[in-house]
Amino acid sequence: MSSVLASDGIEAGYEVIPERGQRAVFCGLTSIIWMHRQIQDAFFLVVGSRTCAHLLQSAAGVMIFAEPRFATAILEDRDLAGMADCNEELDRVVDEVIARRPEIKSLFLVASCPSEVIKLDLGNAAQRMQRRHEGSVRVVAFSGSGIETTFTQGEDSCLHSLVAELPDSHDSTQRLLVAGSLPDVVEDQFRRLLDAMGITDVDFFPGRRFEELPAVGANTQVLLAQPFLNDTARALVGRGAQLLSAPFPYGAEGTLAWLQAAATAWSVPAATFESVTRSSLARAKKSIAARAEKLTGKRVALLPDSQLEIPIARFLSRECGMELLELGTPHFDTEIMAADAALLPHGSKIIEGQNLDAQLDRVREQRPDLTVCGLGIANPLEAEGLRTKWSIELMFTPIQGFDQAGDLVELFTRPLRRQQLLDFT
């Protein structure tokens, strides 16, 4: 493991301050909302309470589904009183799901707070069901509970559970594994760029179909496309893969450095790299410049949500000229975040965790030009006269890569532009 994620000798110019108290964040179950679109032959069955079911439908239920690919096995009194054998019950429910959706190739059993507190072993259950449905459906378990996971950590937990499912790679050819859910348009762009550099053996994980999971082994180089994949990254390393250190691919600078990490590992000649990236890079810079003017000098606060905060803050400060005030993240992984954190303005203070009311007091006191926050807070802050950008949209919009750099700026300029357009106070 030569290219570990250590800070490459750059002295940390930032400080991490832990904070505890009330947290206004999603639990990991929420990741099902995009993961079920990402892996298109998978079904997600949450084992939990009515609260879990309510969360899922409140988040996704505005879309009208002819056939949803997620559901909840709701625990009832008789399950808790031990009158019903939870394992038998779960078998019955899973049979019901498979009968209704015979075309699914994989079934994820997703643990929740209630199932974890009563210590229902879904890992075991998955193995048991795997034997029962051998040959038709793969069954895997992971946790999306609020007590264990915050929002995007649900994806980490899901992908982590898949790492054990990946076939062994016995090949000696070096392969690139891009880990983390990506919109297909971004995936295609990355593939084209890497291909042009001569990096042709590229896999995307998880990809679109469970059936096409990539192989992993000592020949695998991993490039993380999302910043919240701590456990997944370590599990991949555990399978023999090497992790490439890079900032995350937001903006022109981030994308260039991210691609550079792969190019270096593949010993792509500098001239080739330059010629492949030249026009895309120029296009990205141009589209950022056209929009970033509105952000220059503006003060931004980021509240904890997805772990995208640090790389996004890096982009907003370095490429859009914004001043960083509050810099919150639900979880800070020193190794994985090293390359991005090193690019933050010197002396940046990162707040890890949350004490909601105290944090809102700071926001109200500083009155940022823009606050990046969750939907439970956005409208109330707007009503107080503060402009907000709701953070979940960063997970639901193609924002990675050169050709999305302008769109990424647009996400932050739009609330400010809107304020100018609307003719009432």
- Enumerate the known binding-site residues for [4Fe-4S] cluster: 27, 52, 113
**Contacting range for another protein; rule: CB under 8 A; set: 45-53, 161-169, 242-250, 278-286:** 45-53
Instruction: Report CA Rg, the chain.
Output: 22
- Rounded distance between C-alpha atoms, residue 270 and residue 101, angstroms: 50
Q: Is 388 in the site for another protein (CB under 8 A)?
A: no
Q: Which of 38, 49, 220, 245 binds another protein (CB under 8 A)?
A: 49
Q: Is 132 in the site for another protein (CB under 8 A)?
A: no
Q: Is 404 in the site for another protein (CB under 8 A)?
A: no
Instruction: Name which of 374, 371, 393 is nearest 384 in CA terms.
Output: 371
Q: Which token pair is 10?
A: 């750059």
**Contacting range for another protein; rule: CB under 8 A; set: 65-73, 243-251, 299-307, 414-422:** 65-73
Q: Is 17 in the site for another protein (CB under 8 A)?
A: no
Q: Which of 378, 395, 399, 408 binds another protein (CB under 8 A)?
A: 378
Nearer to another protein, 53 or 292 (CB): 53
Residue 287, helix vs strand vs coil: helix
- Rounded distance between C-alpha atoms, residue 273 and residue 194, angstroms: 9
- Rounded distance between C-alpha atoms, residue 241 and residue 239, angstroms: 6
Q: Is 393 in the site for another protein (CB under 8 A)?
A: no
Q: Which of 13, 23, 398, 403 binds another protein (CB under 8 A)?
A: 23
CB atoms within 10 A of CB 258: 25
Contacts of 348 (CB under 8 A, 6+ apart): 13, 14, 15, 313, 324, 327, 341
Q: Is 283 in the site for another protein (CB under 8 A)?
A: no
Q: Which of 5, 55, 163, 320 binds another protein (CB under 8 A)?
A: 55
Q: Which of 270, 357, 417, 418 binds another protein (CB under 8 A)?
A: 357
Site for another protein in 96-115 (CB under 8 A): 96-97, 113-114
Total binding residues for another protein by CB under 8 A?
A: 63
Nearer to another protein, 79 or 309 (CB): 79
Q: Is 57 in the site for another protein (CB under 8 A)?
A: yes
Q: Is 196 in the site for another protein (CB under 8 A)?
A: no
Dihedral sign, Cα of residue 50, residue 53, residue 58, residue 64: negative
Contacts of 362 (CB under 8 A, 6+ apart): 301, 326
Q: Are 330 and 353 in contact (CB under 8 A)?
A: yes
- Rounded distance between C-alpha atoms, residue 278 and residue 259, angstroms: 12
DSSP annotation of 75: -
Nearer to another protein, 67 or 423 (CB): 67
Q: Which token pair is 127?
A: 């193995």
Q: Is 391 in the site for another protein (CB under 8 A)?
A: no
Q: Are 70 and 45 in contact (CB under 8 A)?
A: yes
The least CB distance from residue 103 to another protein, in Å, is 15
- Rounded distance between C-alpha atoms, residue 82 and residue 409, angstroms: 54
Residue 409, helix vs strand vs coil: helix
Instruction: Name which of 355, 411, 365, 407 is nearest 386 in CA terms.
Output: 365
Q: Is 54 in the site for another protein (CB under 8 A)?
A: yes
Instruction: For residue 223, list its beta bridge partners.
Output: 178
The least CB distance from residue 18 to another protein, in Å, is 12
Nearer to another protein, 86 or 343 (CB): 86
Q: Which of 146, 180, 254, 406 binds another protein (CB under 8 A)?
A: 146
Q: Are 389 and 407 in contact (CB under 8 A)?
A: no
- Rounded distance between C-alpha atoms, residue 392 and residue 364, angstroms: 21
**Contacting range for another protein; rule: CB under 8 A; set: 23-31, 102-110, 226-234, 304-312:** 23-31
Q: Which of 38, 150, 287, 404 binds another protein (CB under 8 A)?
A: 150
**Contacting range for another protein; rule: CB under 8 A; set: 22-30, 187-195, 227-235, 269-277:** 22-30
Judged on CB neighbours under 10 Å (0-12, 13-18, 19+), 418 is exposed
Site for another protein in 71-90 (CB under 8 A): 71-77, 79-80, 84, 86, 89-90
Which residues of this chain interact with another protein, rule CB under 8 A?
22-30, 47, 49-51, 53-55, 57-59, 61-62, 64-68, 71-77, 79-80, 84, 86, 89-90, 92-93, 96-97, 113-114, 116-118, 145-148, 150, 357, 374-380, 382-383
